[in-house]
A and B are shown apart, each in its own frame.
Chain A
């Protein structure tokens, strides 16, 4: 069992990790055929991951409803809407339109999903305004720099600001292209180096958290 749970996954990870790191630099037909096949496997695995996620979601919320933990009503709403969507989806054979007419699934998408997601996102505008009013204060030198930049970018990114203070447009472009790019690049390089290091640790079997726990570990 230890072999199946530990050695075999480690061996597969090592072989596949090394092989496909090399594959990127080898344009031979055999290498191209290998990446074509592997990308298909990865797509199939991604599909299964989706099904697994759905099953896990059903399980987690079923337990919450059964035990009537605080907020279990939300789980019930989620459960009912998921089941209704799945039933309607099967009934509509997964199609949102048939011969130009909306199916039940199409109706659910247009009249539930689109407005609900739009509402959730648009509420942000109100909360951001309220949070900005309370939190955006020049408490320190750094906070003052952030405050001034934010006000300039907010002016320079809209026609009214460009009309009233035309120079804010150029300042905004400079802030985005120079200051913002430099900082973002530094963060990106740091994150990427971390990702490379973590990938190497996984390929070489140093990082094993992905194997999970268990008696045989």
Chain B
């Protein structure tokens, strides 16, 4: 038993890699589709958008790059589908230069799917430097911060921006963030000064760090990781890549849990042996 435990504790990490690969691949090939529970923090985002009147202004900031695409793209797609379905005016932008192409692609794809028109129903402003100072600039005058959109069309006079002068005219804002600049920065430089309601969407890694902002009401909702995206897809009743990926995530979590528990069993077997020797 002790020899076995010793061998298992020093197991070749490639075997662990293989187990993880199988846990990711097999559920993707044969999904088991377990029901998704809705958390209050995700429901809060859904309910707020649901309660917005038609043609309200919804700002979606894509604060991520391709490395976080698997978690944050499904969140963006679900939020955009919901916003377009509610006939909101959507303003998109990004603080991450390397995420600009990805954000534009997601925006164009979902808008085309929902039959929405660029300039009339939505606008993608693209990227501009400054992060916090860009938010302040947008809070003072949106047209000076972004004189033109990502397609180089002047923003002044765009039907989608009718009646919008600055961030004070935004009815709801969601930052989908993989780090900084992201949700915290939007709160500090944006919501706190320009008084708009906001929520966050984040990768699973940074979600626990955002709970204090949620509990204090600084953000009214939080979509955390792939699980949060799957919850939002369930709420809008349109399943996507997040729901499909949750089976793989379930299996991977279970493989890791089993590995950790086994490792502890082997550890205690060997510790018992050491104790006796002493």
Contact residues of B: prevailing secondary structure: helix
17 A–B contact pairs at CB < 8 A? A39-B136, A39-B137, A42-B136, A114-B102, A125-B20, A130-B13, A130-B17, A132-B256, A132-B260, A133-B11, A133-B16, A136-B260, A157-B204, A158-B227, A158-B254, A161-B254, A181-B214
Q: Mark A102-118, 1 if CB is under 8 A from B, else 0.
A: 00001001100111011
Check A46/B130 contact, CB under 8 A, given A39-B140, A117-B66, A160-B250: yes
A188 to chain B, nearest CB (A): 6
Q: Of B68, B102, B268, which is within 8 A of A121 by CB?
A: B68
A167 to chain B, nearest CB (A): 12
Q: Mark A159-170, 1 if CB is under 8 A from B, else 0.
A: 111110000010
Check A155/B37 contact, CB under 8 A, given A96-B101, A185-B212: no
Q: A150-B260, A151-B261, A159-B247 are in contact. List 19 more A-B contacts (CB 8 A).
A: A43-B129, A43-B145, A46-B133, A96-B104, A117-B67, A118-B66, A118-B67, A121-B67, A125-B252, A126-B21, A129-B16, A130-B17, A133-B16, A136-B263, A147-B260, A161-B250, A162-B34, A163-B35, A177-B214
Does A47 sit within 8 A of B, measured CB to CB?
yes
Interface size on B, residues (CB 8 A): 67
Q: Which residue of B lies closest to A49 (CB)?
A: B129
Does B115 sit within 8 A of A, measured CB to CB?
no
Does B24 sit within 8 A of A, measured CB to CB?
yes
Report whether A43 and B37 are in contact in the complex, using a CB–CB cutoff of 8 Å. Answer: no
Q: Which residue of A lies closest to B23 (CB)?
A: A129
A181 to chain B, nearest CB (A): 4
B142 to chain A, nearest CB (A): 11
Report whether B136 and A157 are in contact in the complex, using a CB–CB cutoff of 8 Å. Answer: no
Residues of A near B267 (CB, < 8 A) are 137-138
Q: Of B16, B66, B140, B264, which is within 8 A of A138 by CB?
A: B264
With most chain B CB atoms within 10 A of its CB, the pick from A117, A133, A162 is: A133
Check A181/B211 contact, CB under 8 A, given A46-B130, A96-B104: yes
Does B85 sit within 8 A of A, measured CB to CB?
no
Residues of B near A185 (CB, < 8 A) are 212, 215
Residues of A near B264 (CB, < 8 A) are 136-138, 147
Does A67 sit within 8 A of B, measured CB to CB?
no
Count the A-B residue pairs with Cβ separation under 8 angstroms: how many?
Answer: 167
B19 to chain A, nearest CB (A): 8
* CA gap between A39 and B68 in the complex, in Å: 29
Residues of A near B34 (CB, < 8 A) are 159-160, 162-163
Residues of A near B66 (CB, < 8 A) are 113-115, 117-118
Residues of B near A32 (CB, < 8 A) are 140
Q: Of A110, A129, A138, A147, which is within 8 A of B101 by CB?
A: A110
Does A173 sit within 8 A of B, measured CB to CB?
yes
Does B98 sit within 8 A of A, measured CB to CB?
yes
* CA gap between A169 and B61 in the complex, in Å: 30
Q: Which residue of B lies closest to A164 (CB)?
A: B254
* CA gap between A49 and B240 in the complex, in Å: 39
